[in-house]
Chain A
Amino acid sequence: MTSQPGDMLDSIDRTVTQAQVEAYADAAGDHNPIHLDAEFAAITPFGKRIAHGMLTLAMVSEMLTSAYPNNWASGGRLKVRFRAPVFPGETVHVTGEVKKVTESDGVRLAEITLGVRKDDGEDVITGQAFVKLD
């Protein structure tokens, strides 16, 4: 288990496609046209279709589940900000680093710095997760 400050979780690199966005819309029930309708998206400030923020966040949760198979789903929590949209065709790099470990009442809790970045270094998601280690 990744449990020391400075430890890096196994990262995820993934290219988001429009087909994936459409599959996600069906799976999650979110058919907002900003994700699906090119004409609609063209008149928004983004200028084109964007991936769902929750699709990208799912990759963060996947990383945390892999690192902490039981404790992420049982007692894990996160708070994140969506900094920039992901456009279909872009690759994102999902990372997590244990920032510190605290102990209270015999329970150790890891604070993990979360990041999702594009190839050019632009932040997509920033935030923290907290996972019990015991």
Chain B
Amino acid sequence: MPLQDLPAGHEFPPETLTISEAEAAAYAAAVGDTSANPSERVPSMAVIAAGLSRFIKHLGLADGTVEVVHASQKASFNRPVTPGEILEIRATLKSNAERRGSRFATVEMLFVDESGEQVASASSLILVNAT
């Protein structure tokens, strides 16, 4: 469903997220982080980035029909994530409003492990303009 049709409070279907050692290493290399140890820990922000990318794609915001700008970000980390660990992303559209021709949307994501423990959370404010 397009972003403009989703009400604030909309809960997205849960998603599974697993970041392999190779993916963690690719992320560390891409951001230039030579101090990361991706065989033992996924870089903290990689988890948030992977989740956000998923929802930008799901909302149809990655197809070149709109301009998407990341306006602000909150993140919190409860414990490190190990490569290959299976997480569930529980995402909610916390706000969705149009102001002066631009759409402002906040997506909140909770990252939960297989035992149900929350390992990280994030809140992303994105600004969407028609091109």
Q: Does B associate with A?
A: yes
Instruction: Enumerate chain A interface residues (CB-CB to B < 8 A).
Output: 14, 20, 23-24, 26-34, 37, 40, 43-45, 52-55, 57-62, 65-66, 72-82
A30, A31, A65: the one contacting B52 at CB < 8 Å is A30
Interface residues on B, range: 35 or more
Q: How many Å from the CB of A81 to the closest CB on chain B? A: 5
Cβ–Cβ contact A44 & B43, under 8 A: no
Binds A, one of B73-81, B91-99, B107-115: B73-81
Instruction: Sort A-B residue pairs by CB-CB distance and give the 8 closest, nearest first.
Output: A77-B76, A53-B70, A58-B31, A23-B30, A29-B53, A61-B45, A30-B53, A24-B30
Interface hub of B46, B53, B71, B76 (most chain A Cβ within 10 A)? B53
- With a cutoff of 8 Å between Cβ atoms, the chain A residues found around residue B80 in the complex are 73-74
| Pairwise interchain contact B68-A32, C-beta atoms closer than 8 A | yes
Contacts of B31 in A (CB 8 A): 20, 24, 55, 58-59, 62
Closest Cβ neighbor of A76 among chain B residues? B77
Interface residue? B57 (CB, 8 A): yes
Residue of B nearest to A17 (CB): B32
Q: Does B2 contact A (CB under 8 A)?
A: no
Q: List 15 A-B contacts (CB under 8 A).
A: A20-B31, A24-B30, A24-B31, A28-B49, A30-B53, A58-B27, A59-B32, A61-B45, A62-B36, A65-B43, A65-B44, A73-B77, A78-B73, A78-B75, A82-B71
Which residues of B come within 8 Å of A, CB atoms?
Answer: 23, 26-27, 29-33, 35-36, 41, 43-46, 48-50, 52-54, 56-57, 61-62, 64, 67-80, 131
Question: When the two chains form the complex, which single residue of B30, B41, B44, B64 contacts A26, counting CB atoms closer than 8 Å?
Answer: B30
Contact across chains for B32 and A14 when beta carbons are under 8 A apart = yes
